[in-house]
Amino acid sequence: MLGECGMQERDRRGLRKYAVTLCKEMVVDELFIQSLQTDDILTDSMAESILAEPTSHKRSWRLLSLLPKRGPRAFSSFCSALRDTEQQHLCALLTESPERDGERQRYVDSPLPLPTQEGMVPAKRARTQESMEMCLDADSPITSSVLPCTPDFYLKHCQQSYSMVSSPRGLALVISNVSFDPCAAPDLDSRKGGEVDEEVLRKVFTELDYIVTVRRDLTAQGMRECIEQFGRRQQHQTVSSCVVCLLSHGVEGAIYGTDGQLLELDWVFEAFDNAHCPLLQNKPKMFFIQACRGEEMDCGVEQSDGPERTQSPGCEQRDAGREGEGDGDTRQMEERGRLRVKLPQRSDMICGFASLKGTAAMRNTKRGSWFIQEVNSALRFRARDTHLSDILVQVNGRIKDREGYAPGTPHHRCKEMSEFTSSLCKDLYLFPKYHPQY
């Protein structure tokens, strides 16, 4: 039985029967929605309304409420989208139930591929503690173009922010360790999906007008030499900023080289401080660290009823009277006026971490890590009118809402929480695709 402009009643019943399971387990991301748009099941406005929902649960509910009204092909297209996004278990749930004995015959006449055992994703094995960068979920990298900054926005915000007018905006270094020496580092698994992260970062920073250098699979000493050479490049003198992305296995305060040796992150930051990298003094230096910071897996906690708790406001301490001390001494002021301005040892840096201290980071073997996916998406859609600190706050919010899917393993419904540290002294707008004319 087929309603006007609707799907078959049997298909409707299947969606209703498993709606709760679908809303709990289905990942509705841009790739999933694009598949339905390609089949003309969803219009652009429908796709936008689904993706605008703040949580995965709400996106799923909105999609399921629209599908029964989208014609007789909507169900088969929906099942195809599930298979294309590695959610075959949900497709099987809908198509292999006892009341659908004739389902496979209906698929024979369909141009869409049959769900087969060969296409099923094998159960994910439990990861060792030495390899705690989990490979989970099914979101895909966003590839939409970076949205441009408008001239009006630039003129309103350029005075109170870091100067970002050079073209290129700066140099970017991406070090990505994917394969590790099985003899020197037998406990470090290959970081499948790491190559996706490096390509995502190369593309987004190239679009943001950075000259991007990508280095793959370096030992700890190789990373040191690469970073030292990068920091000495004379082109830093004529550009506005710098980006360093480090992707590897790690522990708190360090990342692994392919030889199983550790590179201390504090050494990395020191290499770009005001003493060791004078070419970048007073210029913003951005760091993105995709690595575990410990072995603990964040299993999450159930949110209690009522509003989220907030901490009591902290007390802002005064600077023990140091600022302005001796202001009445005219002679000391004149002496200070004759001295060259001094900078702190380390300033104008911002660093985004994929996970909190002591916890593991999450990575999908085909679509890359959660953190790099969200950084990529936020830069593409929000850099036009949002400074980097707020962009990383938004990344934190997106990471907070994500949840791993790995049924039958300890990592099912696992969580991650990113964070960032900053010694920036101004707003850092990237002003994408805008170049002032002087």
Q: Are 287 and 244 in contact (CB under 8 A)?
A: yes
HSE, CB side, 13 Å, CA atoms: give it for residue 336. Answer: 10
Cα–Cα distance list, 39 to 3, 91, 200, 259 (Å)? 20, 17, 27, 48
Contact predicate 25/405, CB 8 Å = yes
Can you count the helices (H) and strands (E) in the chain?
Answer: 15, 12
User: Rounded CA gap, 398 and 380, in Å?
Assistant: 15
Q: Go through 176-209 and write b for each residue having 16 or more CB atoms within 10 A of its CB, e for each that does not.
A: bbbbbeeeebeebbebebbbbbbebbbbbbeebb
Report which DSSP code applies to 269. Answer: H
**Residue 356 CB contacts under 8 Å (≥ 6 apart), including other chains:** 293, 298, 417, 418, 419
Residue type, 124: K
Place of tokens 């410990």: 294
The full DSSP string for 292-307 is -SSSB-B---PPPSSS
Which residue in 236, 249, 387, 411 is the catalytic one? 249
Q: Identify whether 292 is a catalytic site residue.
A: yes
Burial class (CB in 10 A: 0-12, 13-18, 19+), 130: middle
Q: String of b and e for 389-412 (b: at least 16 CB within 10 Å)?
A: eebbebbbebbeebbbbbeebebe
Rounded Cα gap, residues 356 and 250, in angstroms: 12
Residues 6+ apart with CB under 8 A from 124: 135, 136, 406, 409, 411
Among the listed residues 323, 343, 348, the one whose alpha carbon sits nearest the alpha carbon of residue 426: 348
Among the listed residues 372, 370, 375, 377, the one whose alpha carbon sits nearest the alpha carbon of residue 403? 370
Choose, from 79, 292, 351, 414, the residue flagged as catalytic.
292
In whole angstroms, what is the distance from residue 230 CA to residue 411 CA?
38
Q: Give the distance, in angstroms, between the CA of residue 33 and the centroid of all CA atoms in the same chain.
A: 19
Count of Cβ atoms closer than 10 Å to residue 166 Cβ: 15
Catalytically annotated residues = 249, 292
